[in-house]
Amino acid sequence: MRVVFVHGACVRDGAWWWHRTAELLREVGVPSVAPLLPSCGEGGCPGGADGPGLTEDVEAVRQVLHDGDEPTVVVAHSYGGIVTAEAAAGVSSVRHLLLVSSYLPEVGQSLSDFSDGTPAPFLYVDPDDGTFGVRPELLVETFLQDCDPETQVQAADKLARQSVKVTAQPVGAAAWQQAPSTYVVCLQDKGTPVERQREFARKASSAVELDTGHHPFLSQPAAVQNLLLSL
């Protein structure tokens, strides 16, 4: 078994966001990898109106999924659910999807279909360069309030400006309709409302609820590890 972790929006270095759970998995012989998402400026191309978007993110994750044929669990976090919906579709090695406070789009839906047309208060959109990002002063209280202070400081250095085009690009597949899936509802999450998470959870094969904020793999990595091993 291996785990592929697909990080959320407006951050870089998915391996860092995933490292606490990855270390616990490695101790019991389960490898994991966190693909780079080009729309977040990873991989050498800056985000922006002319930069990479959802298509490039999907290709990056799909390439990693095809790198091996061992049974794979994909952990999709937040925006990562948009990417995974298309990237994991039809990949025979994908045995399960673990969707953490994740979006579950139907075919043809985009990230913007889950908003009221205005940016969330914790986001800043720059129309001049075609990017959006998390307001640094709202990072901790919105996403990391249950993490230790050192993690909060390190996370602030991992914020990224992302191509705003990803919000309007529709997915061409819905892997969660094909593969077994478990949805993780994060009860303290102030970024994705619990009510919205539970709406998505009803679409998944099964659901669990954790008393955590938006990043349980940082604040309660053992709980995420145990959940993965149970799959």
Whose structure tokens read 């940082």?
A: 218
Q: What is the mean pLDDT of the chain?
A: 96
pLDDT score at 49? 79
CA-closest candidate to residue 4, choices 55, 63, 75: 75
Domains identified in the chain and CATH numbers: 2-230 (3.40.50.1820)
Q: What is the pLDDT of residues 32-84, one digit of tens each?
A: 999 999 999 998 877 787 889 999 999 999 999 999 889 999 999 999 999 99
DSSP state for residue 171 in the 8-state scheme: P
Q: What is the pLDDT of residues 89-120, one digit of tens each?
A: 999 999 999 999 999 999 999 999 998 878 89
Give the integer Cα–Cα distance in Å for 207 and 225: 16
Give the integer Cα–Cα distance in Å for 29 and 23: 10
Give the integer Cα–Cα distance in Å for 6 and 91: 15
pTM of whole model > 0.95? yes
Q: What is the pLDDT of residues 133-174, one digit of tens each?
A: 999 999 999 999 999 999 999 999 999 999 999 999 999 999
Q: What is the pLDDT of residues 189-230, one digit of tens each?
A: 999 999 999 999 999 999 999 999 999 999 999 999 999 999
